[in-house]
């Protein structure tokens, strides 16, 4: 592999990882994947500093190896909490509040001698350093009813500010790239596609006793559908529940469903719907689970069902592909490009369509085997090591560092999804 010559010392990249573990779902998993991928890159002279508060780093530290290490804020915890509380109050002020939403750097990354900053989370920091920004999706523009007026205004300030300031803006799919260009009038040459991948290979593999213990703790059926997602409204849990109730009523089949993920403000309505549909016996919402438990659910499940109304990527679909779990998936936004021919597709607004798709997958073992194999083949196209190599090429390009032959090939290739 071509070694890149040094140019003014090692390239120092800061990756923003200011997340508290257990609260951010797919974003947290993506940061783990980026860390794991960059940790494997030992053929360059880069250093990767992951900006994270020391009190919140437990979830990330096991994945920081090789050229990766944590970078802690200069301010102590008490000062940081006081500043955060003051800004939270300021953001809520009528009329002027949103202007405080785009937050300035406290000088930590500048003092660390960073050359490029990568913001894989939406709430980036204002800095004069060259940056790469990932807004993930523009859900607030497409489904504004899921947000308060204040939330929409805040998102617009944050997203537009950092899209304008960044050297490069990154989407996960071609669909997401087009959406960013059209919605924010961004120059096409400024917006790139870097796909995510499954992070399950980085998680501990459950043993047989682990699997049996988890099955017993949740009183799980021998087979069940898996849908890992936070309980946001756009994740569309209710229509999936309606589809399962329809199958029970129409076809006499009780299909189990397990939905791990943080339970937020919308969970109350989901819980009510479970009761209304009489699904208490077959549906489980275990909340946020450990890496081991999540991996176990993938091993125990019969299939993944993904009825989301809006996705910038669809991380659980990639995870299912990576372990050979057959997939039934929504046709919304970027998902058909991600799934290809490796899963069944359905209209997420139609419980009958969801039910028909789920029933086919549940009752046809040959179909499940075919989709599992196609999923494994599709998964070979996506890995976080490849994602890390593509990001490294962008870091070098943004920092005006020499590119390797591999970098040029990666940057020139069309997106995978």
Q: Which has more pLDDT, 372 or 27?
A: 372
For residue 209, what pLDDT is reported?
Answer: 95
Which token pair is 398?
């943004």
Which token pair is 340?
């290809």
Lowest-confidence region among 6-20, 86-100, 128-142, 163-177: 86-100
**Strand, helix or coil at 109?**
helix
Residues 6+ apart with CB under 8 A from 100: 87, 90, 91, 93
Q: Which has more pLDDT, 323 or 89?
A: 323
Domains and their CATH numbers in the chain: 12-197+383-412 (3.40.50.2000), 205-379 (3.40.50.2000)
Mean pLDDT score, 20-34: 85
Q: What is the pLDDT of residues 215-231, one digit of tens each?
A: 999 999 889 999 999 99
Residue 96's pLDDT band, with cuts at 50, 70 and 90, is low
Q: Which has more pLDDT, 274 or 1?
A: 274
Give CA 209 to chain center in angstroms: 29
For residue 1, what pLDDT is reported?
Answer: 34
**Start-to-end Cα distance in the chain:** 26
Give percent helix, percent strand, percent coil of the chain, each to the nearest 5: 45, 15, 40
Check whether 59 has a pLDDT greater than 90. yes
Check whether 332 has a pLDDT greater than 80. yes
Among 313, 296, 146, residue whose Cα is nearest residue 232: 146
Q: What is the pLDDT of residues 281-310, one digit of tens each?
A: 999 999 999 999 999 999 999 999 999 999
Residues 6+ apart with CB under 8 A from 329: 304, 305, 306, 314, 317, 335, 339, 343, 344, 345, 346
Instruction: Report the 10 Å Cβ neighbour count for 244.
Output: 26
**Strand, helix or coil at 266?**
coil
Which of the 8 DSSP states describes residue 110? H
For residue 6, what pLDDT is reported?
Answer: 45
pTM higher than the cut 0.85? yes
Residue 20's pLDDT band, with cuts at 50, 70 and 90, is confident
In DSSP notation, 378-397 reads HHTT--HHHHHHHHHHHHHH
Tell me the pLDDT of the chain averaged across its residues: 93
103 neighbors 126 (Cβ within 8 angstroms): yes
Q: What is the pLDDT of residues 83-92, one digit of tens each?
A: 777 777 777 7
For residue 3, what pLDDT is reported?
Answer: 41
Give the C-alpha separation, 204 to 295, whole Å.
Answer: 8
The residues pairing with 224 across neighbouring beta strands, listed in sequence order, are none
Instruction: Report the 10 Å Cβ neighbour count for 86.
Output: 11
Task: Give, in order, the Cα–Cα distances in Å from 33 to each of 38, 132, 261, 315.
Answer: 9, 17, 18, 11
318 neighbors 241 (Cβ within 8 angstroms): no
């Amino acid at each position: 592999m071509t070694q890149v010559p040094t140019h003014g010392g090692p390239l120092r990249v800061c990756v923003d990882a200011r997340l508290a573990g257990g609260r951010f779902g797919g974003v947290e998993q993506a940061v783990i994947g980026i860390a794991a991928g960059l940790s494997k890159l030992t053929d360059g002279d880069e250093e990767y500093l992951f900006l994270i508060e020391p009190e919140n780093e437990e979830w990330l530290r096991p994945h920081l190896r090789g050229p990766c290490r944590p970078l802690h804020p200069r301010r102590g915890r008490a000062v940081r909490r006081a500043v955060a509380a003051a800004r939270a109050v300021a953001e809520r002020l009528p009329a002027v509040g949103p202007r405080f939403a785009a937050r300035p750097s406290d000088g930590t990354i500048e003092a660390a001698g960073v050359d490029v900053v990568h913001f894989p989370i939406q709430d980036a920091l204002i800095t004069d350093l060259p940056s790469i920004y990932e807004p993930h999706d523009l859900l607030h523009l497409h489904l504004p009813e899921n947000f308060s007026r204040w939330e929409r205004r805040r998102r617009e300030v944050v997203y537009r500010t950092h899209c304008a300031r960044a050297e490069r803006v990154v989407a996960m799919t071609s669909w997401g790239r087009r959406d960013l260009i059209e919605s924010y009038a961004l120059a096409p040459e400024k917006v790139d596609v870097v796909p995510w991948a499954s992070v399950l290979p980085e998680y501990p593999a459950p043993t047989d006793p682990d699997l049996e213990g988890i099955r017993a703790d949740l009183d799980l059926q021998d087979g069940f559908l898996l849908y890992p997602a936070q309980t946001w409204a756009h994740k569309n849990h209710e229509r999936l529940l309606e589809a399962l109730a329809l199958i029970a009523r129409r076809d006499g089949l009780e299909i189990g469903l397990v939905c791990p993920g943080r339970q937020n403000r919308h969970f109350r309505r989901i819980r009510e719907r479970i009761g209304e549909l009489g699904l208490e016996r077959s549906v489980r919402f275990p909340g946020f689970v450990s890496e081991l438990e999540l991996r176990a659910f993938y091993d125990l499940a019969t299939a993944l069902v993904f009825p989301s109304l809006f996705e910038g990527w669809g991380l659980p679909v990639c995870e299912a592909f990576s372990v050979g779990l057959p997939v039934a998936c929504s046709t919304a936004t970027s998902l058909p490009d991600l799934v290809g021919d490796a899963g069944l597709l359905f209209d997420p607004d139609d419980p009958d369509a969801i039910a028909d798709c789920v029933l086919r997958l549940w009752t046809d073992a040959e179909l499940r085997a075919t989709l599992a194999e196609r999923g494994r083949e599709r998964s070979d196209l996506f890995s976080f090591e490849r994602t890390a190599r593509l990001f490294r090429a962008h870091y070098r390009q943004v920092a005006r560092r020499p590119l390797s032959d591999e970098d040029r090939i990666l940057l020139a290739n069309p997106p995978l999804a």
